[in-house]
Amino acid sequence: MSTLKEICNGLPLDPLPPNRGRDPNVPHAPVRTPNLTAEEERLALRNALRYFPPSHHAELAPEFAQELRQYGHIYMYRFCPTLRLRAYPIDQYPCRTRQAASIMLMIMNNLDPAVAQFPQELVTYGGNGQVFSNWAQFCLVMHYLSEMTEEQTLVMYSGHPMGLFPSLPSSPRAIITNGMVIPNYSSRETYEKMFALGVSMYGQMTAGSYCYIGPQGIVHGTMLTVLNAGRRYLGSDDLRGRVLVTSGLGGMSGAQAKAAVIAGCIGVIAEVDEAPLRKRHEQGWLMEVTSSLDQCIKRIREARSSKTPLSLGYHGNIVDLWERLLLEYERTGECLVDMGSDQTSLHNPFNGGYYPVQLSYQQANQLMSTDPNRFRTMVQESLQRHVKAINKLSDAGMFFWDYGNAFLLEAQRAGAEVEKIGGRPTEFRYPSYVQHIMGDIFSLGFGPFRWVCTSGNPQDLTVTDNIAATILEEISANVSDRIRQQYNDNIRWIREAGKHKMVVGSQARILYSDQKGRVSIALAINQAVADGKVSAPVVISRDHHDVSGTDSPFRETSNVYDGSAFCADMAVQNFVGDAFRGATWVALHNGGGVGWGEVTNGGFGLLLDGSEGAAKRATLMLNWDVSNGVARRCWSGNSNAYETIQRTMEEHRQLRVTMPFPVKDEHVLDRALQG
């Protein structure tokens, strides 16, 4: 068993570790089909061997060639550490600076088998959200971080550590880019080739920026979405006896079961892969499991009648579940579902993100590698059936929304009936949850602020939970009713969070807060570290899925209607601005959530070590991190953002934002264009 010290020594070359191959005891990523030419295979192999001295090439080349042909990518399984990867306490990493140790802790958490979806393929979530492209990169990164001083920055090119470069103590300790492809070449087909060649990588959002905190990271956002969907669609805060049907229990979507119960409703979640379903059940996130549609219908009726919160995992295809619910409606006239959505990984529809109803799970995995064109056709046929059942139940009174997983986008491409007559380019028959629910919340400045207690001590998490709750309660006493509703939801969440056993991996927490709340919580936690009330530094970050982190026309910016939804200035400015305002590390990605070529997103990590410097960095960076997005949303015409940025300028006299003048008389436009 290797040790932390040993995995920080760089690539083990003398001797080479034994090639143990893939571990049969953990889930593995689907086989990729990059369709490389003979010359491209040669290039992929040459690229992989760059990490090793020529004296090892004769031994490694056949092994890497076999991986490429068998799995569609060179993962370098031989170099996967035998040490259990997890978020070890920060003082256990052999480092020269705690900033570097904090990055190591977050990387290790992303690859923890309890957290990661496919740990040996370095996939954290989403089917293809990579931390690194191969295990050689992991070894080198850990070595560089162990050697790093506070006058160096680690430069990461799509999983590849370009090296340590001289910089200032105030500079980020790591700059990460993933998938930054020239726009004309940002197609799925080129991605598959580039990833197979080892030259680019899909970092999703928080996988490739080392900020994933397990499914808790989306439980809270999902709970807020369900609560606000109930308010909007059902006209009620009370969701007892209401039924939400959706799909996916993998990395991100695994949060749905827990969120449904916390929100008080009945969540029925379909999942074709037994491994994540069992994992969520064993972790206590999922209350019941069945592979029987009859049992599903029976339990829905019982829970509706008793108004008992329930999370029920259906081991089977979501299309079968929707069609059975439709059949029940046609037989009885009773619509058993109030709200519906989908969280399969449709950003990755033809390589394991979506399983067609016509095939078993095993058959699908085989066909996607042996006959990708046939598999693609079956996925599209399945999506047509999927949407047909949803449309009929929607006509019967169910409210459906797109959960930002490219479901409606891919359904449209498959020929399903999701068109919105007269709609804008980002609009479909059903709204995205950003357009109807979360977009206005983002425009108030609220988003998924999160922190990790690097001690690994649950007591530190309890202390920080109390700090956050107290601060939110203080701020909420002096805000408008609309903002108070968001504060109250988050106070309820943070006061209850510890009871729901949501920690998977690192001792982490998430809540949605606005600019004032984020800065206040960060400063209070930093002071608690300085005072010894929290025993070790705390890392703060956020999901990229936030007010200013992401430009995504079919999700985060789908409610931007001034024509700029397809522009990516905001995410790039966010990345650059966070870097020079004090972030410990920053990341900029192509892809994430809705797919390669569909989105640009930026993220950060910042270490709160109790110092005055950390307090200054947190204040400057977090204020910018939120205001950047609110200002952009204000300029695009969002009234919530207009009010929010006006109020922020009054509180921060150095902030000066260009405000839009509305066209109050539409006839002015008519006359001008007709004349």
What values do phi and psi take at 555, rounded to 5?
Answer: -145, -95
The proportion of the chain whose per-residue pLDDT surpasses 70, expressed as a percent, equals 99
- Asked if the model's pLDDT at residue 464 lies above 70, the reply is yes
What's the CA dihedral at 253, 257, 261, 267 to 10 degrees?
A: 100
Q: 292 Cβ partners below 8 Å, 6+ apart?
A: none
Position 251 confidence tier, pLDDT thresholds 50, 70, 90 = low
Closest listed residue to residue 270, CA positions, set 294, 251, 254, 252: 254
**What are the Cα distances from residue 522, in Å, to 173, 448, 537?**
20, 13, 12
- pLDDT at res. 504: 86
- Average pLDDT in the 145-171 region? 98
d(CA 452, CA 106): 9
Compute the C-alpha angle 343/346/348, nearest 5°.
130
| Tokens matching residue 81 | 């550490």
Closest listed residue to residue 60, CA positions, set 41, 79, 43: 79
Residues 495 and 220 sit within 8 Å (Cβ to Cβ): no
CA atoms within 13 A on the CB side of 664: 1
pTM across the whole model: 0.89
CB atoms within 10 A of CB 492: 14
DSSP at 157: E
- pLDDT at res. 498: 84
- Asked if the model's pLDDT at residue 270 lies above 70, the reply is yes
Position 179 confidence tier, pLDDT thresholds 50, 70, 90 = very high
- Average pLDDT in the 391-417 region? 93
Q: Can you give the three-state secondary structure of 124-147, one letter per residue?
A: EECCCEECCCCHHHHHHHHHHHHH
- Asked if the model's pLDDT at residue 635 lies above 70, the reply is yes
**529-538: per-residue pLDDT in tens?**
999 999 999 9
- pLDDT at res. 433: 85
- pLDDT at res. 255: 83
- pLDDT at res. 174: 98
Compute the C-alpha angle 161/211/501, nearest 5°.
145
- pLDDT at res. 252: 65
- Average pLDDT in the 145-170 region? 98
**545-578: per-residue pLDDT in tens?**
899 999 999 889 988 999 999 999 999 999 999 9
DSSP at 341: -
Write down the residue that tokens 């949605």 correspond to: 512
Which of 434 and 449 is assigned the larger pLDDT?
Answer: 449
- Average pLDDT in the 438-452 region? 91
Position 329 confidence tier, pLDDT thresholds 50, 70, 90 = very high
d(CA 110, CA 504): 11
- pLDDT at res. 496: 83
- Average pLDDT in the 461-468 region? 97
**291-314: per-residue pLDDT in tens?**
999 999 999 999 999 999 999 999
- Average pLDDT in the 628-645 region? 95
Residue type, 619: T
Position 410 confidence tier, pLDDT thresholds 50, 70, 90 = very high
- pLDDT at res. 175: 98
- Average pLDDT in the 1-24 region? 92
Q: 240 Cβ partners below 8 Å, 6+ apart?
A: 264, 265, 307, 308, 309
- Asked if the model's pLDDT at residue 113 lies above 80, the reply is yes
- Asked if the model's pLDDT at residue 451 lies above 90, the reply is yes
| Tokens matching residue 514 | 């606005």
Position 1 confidence tier, pLDDT thresholds 50, 70, 90 = low
Residue type, 186: S
- pLDDT at res. 413: 95
Residues 115 and 109 sit within 8 Å (Cβ to Cβ): yes
Query: What's the whole-number average pLDDT of the chain?
Result: 94
Report the residue count for the chain.
Answer: 675
- Average pLDDT in the 51-63 region? 98
